[in-house]
Amino acid sequence: MATEGPATRRVQVAEHPRLLKLKEMFNSKFGSIPKFYVRAPGRVNIIGEHIDYCGYSVLPMAVEQDMLIAVEPVKTHILQLANTNPLYPDFSTNANNIQIDKTKPLWHNYFLCGFKGIQEHFGLSNLTGMNCLVDGNIPPSSGLSSSSALVCCAGLVTLTVLGMNLSKGLKTPNLISINNYTKLGGTAVGWMGSDSFSPSRAWVELAEICAKSERYIGTEGGGMDQSISFLAEEGTAKLIEFSPLRATDVKLPSGAVFVIANSCVEMNKAATSHFNIRVMECRLAAKLLAKHKSLQWDKVLRLEEVQAKLGVSLEEMLLVTEDALHSEPYSPEEICECLGISLEEFRTQILSPNTQDVLTFKLYQRAKHVFSEAARVLQFKKICEDAPDNMVQLLGDLMNQSHMSCRDMYECSCPELDQLVDICRKFGAQGSRLTGAGWGGCTVSIVPADKLPSFLANVHESYYQRSDRSLAPEKQSLFATKPGGGALVFLEP
């Protein structure tokens, strides 16, 4: 593959079986040839769970599995979506009348999130349509960010189509910023770019747009998944920091391998309120801590804001939590009394639509998890930098502590994940934890490189073979993974 600019690859489609198959399916579906292809990867979060939406740094890496979309811009206003997987039915709509139904997280809604995000960011109307064929190989609802990969891929598809239109003379009020983006695509499709263009800045902005737009689906995520999908680089994990968003390389130990194992329990975040309840509990904990410390609490949304306003360490925030919050669950009435607001204000001004009827909130436990997990992320990064002789063991210990905290304080594990983590540790993992939102999905384990073959064989036998969990296709259930690259546009020469 020849390289063309920071995010564009020239590819001979015939040499890439997956692209070739997609091109052929596109042709039989739409009767034409795709103009370009876009990929956006899923991710595995190594450490730092449920803290991105609290403003704290996380440590993910992109996986090889991704969302791939073949695209042809069309002259009508119709956006037509098809999928290589028959489980995901065809969908079409007017590109200028995008409706996202939050009550049903159907697959096409994730595409529409990315599409609408770009459309709204640039204030565009009168958009032309496109034909898209989607092919994904990230196990869905398993904590590896299949949903965000789809949103990011759709966002980059939309931006690329806009860039193509721009080159044909489309004028918009935001032409300057679109020009900056369009250079992402290289010169092959005649796009324009300013000389001060910064690819990393454009990726950051695109990640922020997609993080915001995925919330159209109803979940209040923090931005880790979209950030790593755009900012990932092959060979390195990333520390992702927020406000402002930035990504720093974290070199993982060469003597160990990270292994993903799927518990085979699926949990769709948007179809239940589990995820948003945690986001609300953290938001409420932040407000109560701020009030306790006589800060202006009404604008506070994230736990990190409280720490920043107090100017104290994470360890001190754990002490503040002990002081300010009790371990018994809080009722809505008690929270209202603490904050001096009515139940009506509580529901309309603080809670999300799908958490209105929640009766108990565990603020102490959630805050304790968040502050301790945020500290573990920083320790993990420091160990990777210092590279002591026993680094694999030290990193493993942090991952084990993270799982315990997710299980006991955050209550986002499930019996199958706990069992899988135990099996992974028994067969040689130095550390093992759930990854992603939890309540099902995958574990990630750190395994000394020399133990990898026996680890894989034993975990396979103990978790997959000895139960009716059929081992899904290769690279779906149990596999070693390396830091992969980020989103890309593919063009044929």
Return the number of the residue (271 or 318) whose C-beta is nearest ligand NG1. 271
Q: Which of ligand ADP, ligand NG1, none is residue 53 near (CB under 5 to 8 Å by kind)?
A: ligand NG1
Contact assessment for residue 231 and residue 61, using Cβ atoms and an 8 Å cutoff: no
Piece of 23-31, 152-160, 218-226, 237-245 that binds ligand NG1 (CB under 6 A)? 218-226
Closest CB 83 distance from ligand ADP, rounded Å: 5
Piece of 21-29, 48-56, 327-335, 450-458 that binds ligand NG1 (CB under 6 A)? 48-56
Q: Which of ligand NG1, ligand ADP, none is residue 214 near (CB under 5 to 8 Å by kind)?
A: ligand NG1
Q: Give strand pairing partners of 262.
A: 442
By beta carbon distance, the residue nearest ligand ADP is 136
Choose, by CB under 6 A, the member of 49, 66, 281, 373 that binds ligand NG1: 49
Q: Where are the beta strands (DSSP E) in 418-462?
A: 431-434, 442-448
CB atoms within 10 A of CB 279: 22
Any contact of residue 442 with ligand NG1 (CB under 6 A)?
no
Give the HSE-up count for residue 11: Cα atoms under 13 Å, Cβ half-sphere: 21
Closest CA to 413 of 60, 49, 53: 49
Closest CA to 475 of 66, 85, 70, 84: 66
**AA letter at 459:** V
Q: Which of ligand NG1, ligand ADP, none is residue 134 near (CB under 5 to 8 Å by kind)?
A: ligand ADP
Residue from 52, 66, 135, 225 carrying the catalytic annotation: 225
Closest CB 110 distance from ligand ADP, rounded Å: 5
Q: Which of ligand NG1, ligand ADP, none is residue 49 near (CB under 5 to 8 Å by kind)?
A: ligand NG1
Catalytic annotation present for 52: no
Return the number of the residue (148 or 213) whose C-beta is nearest ligand ADP. 148
Collapsed DSSP state (helix, strand, coil) of residue 2: strand
Can you read off the two tokens belonging to residue 353? Answer: 């639509």
Q: Which of ligand NG1, ligand ADP, none is residue 221 near (CB under 5 to 8 Å by kind)?
A: ligand NG1
Any contact of residue 440 with ligand NG1 (CB under 6 A)?
no
Q: Which of ligand ADP, ligand NG1, none is residue 222 near (CB under 5 to 8 Å by kind)?
A: ligand NG1
CB atoms within 10 A of CB 296: 9
Closest CA to 115 of 138, 141, 137, 92: 92
- State the Cα angle at 341 between 336 and 342, rounded to 5°: 85
Q: Which residues bind ligand ADP (CB under 6 A)?
A: 83, 85, 88, 105, 107, 110, 134, 136, 140-148, 150, 268-270, 436
How far apart are alpha carbons 38 and 70 in whole angstroms? 7
Closest CB 26 distance from ligand NG1, rounded Å: 27
Closest CB 325 distance from ligand NG1, rounded Å: 21
Collapsed DSSP state (helix, strand, coil) of residue 442: strand
What backbone phi and psi angles, to 5 degrees, belong to 227?
Answer: -65, -45
Piece of 14-22, 141-149, 349-357, 393-401 that binds ligand NG1 (CB under 6 A)? 141-149
Return the number of the residue (113 or 184) whose C-beta is nearest ligand ADP. 113
Choose, by CB under 6 A, the member of 65, 109, 137, 145 that binds ligand NG1: 145
Contact assessment for residue 158 and residue 172, using Cβ atoms and an 8 Å cutoff: no
Choose, by CB under 6 A, the member of 57, 83, 109, 148 that binds ligand NG1: 148
Residue 286 host element (H or E): helix 274-292
Give whole-number Cα distances, 133 to 107, 159, 217, 366, 493, in Å.
13, 17, 21, 41, 20
Q: Give strand pairing partners of 239.
A: 248
Give whole-number Cα distances, 183 to 168, 203, 210, in Å.
15, 11, 19
Which residues form the catalytic set? 225
Binding site for ligand NG1 (CB under 6 A): 45, 49-50, 52-53, 143, 145, 147-148, 214, 219, 221-222, 224-225, 269, 436-437
